[in-house]
A = this chain, B = another copy of it.
Amino acid sequence: MQYPEPIAKLIASYMKLPGIGEKTATRLAFYTLGMEENDVTDFAKALVAVKRDLHFCSVCGNITEDDPCPICRDSSRDQSQILVVERPRDIMAMERMNEYHGLYHVLNGTISPSAGTGPMDINIPSLIERLKNHPEVKEVIVATNASVDGETTAQYLARLIKPAEIKVTRLAHGLSAGADIDYTDEVTLFKAVQGRTEM
């Protein structure tokens, strides 16, 4: 016996989400069946809207409803700094910190030899073009993740941009806030020692 078609289709859709296997998808589908009609309709509308109403900012690559995005349009921000991130979500994290007031550039990925992603597959050409057209940019802060691919991408960008006399910086590596030395992995500890600062 098969599940009725409507529920089978919904299970298949849930299974397309990351980290959701058949068991969880089935549980979610049956849960959906018991949800308020309004909530389900809103969910369906939100799914369609997110694909229809959100676009990438033609300047920085962030997701936005209007192009250019609110950050690129904000002339009160420091136009001399561009902070380069992998994903739009990283911008939200930086903005929550509330200490950075420059501009952003979203690579929308990393250089990843293992996944076959090269510099031309992510928003590196648009960054270079942007730097050419905006000589007011004095510093590029590379804020890719502390992973192998993030590191590779940072190195690549530094080699590419430094010859243009633009300062290229990288986020500090070390202990996270509240970290316990005993529970910190060797790579992090090594970076924390290497990057030690005078007190």
For A4, the chain B residues whose CB sits under 8 A away are: 53-54, 63-65
The reply to whether A16 and B35 form a contact with Cβ atoms under 8 Å apart is yes
Closest CB-CB distance, A178 to chain B, in whole Å?
19
Within the complex, the shortest CB–CB distance from A25 to chain B, in Å, comes to 11
A9's contact among B1, B13, B18, B49, by CB below 8 Å, is which? Answer: B49
Q: Could you tell me if B50 and A32 are in contact, using CB atoms closer than 8 angstroms?
A: yes
Residues on B with beta carbons closer than 8 Å to the beta carbon of A52? 6
Instruction: Give the interface size bracket for A toward B.
Output: 35 or more
List chain A positions with a Cβ less than 8 A from chain B.
1, 3-7, 9-10, 12-14, 16-19, 24, 26-33, 35, 37, 39-54, 63-65, 71, 87-89, 91-92, 95-96
Determine the distance from Cα of A32 to Cα of B43 in the docked complex, in whole angstroms.
12
When the two chains form their complex, are residues A65 and B6 in contact, meaning their CB atoms are under 8 A apart?
Answer: yes
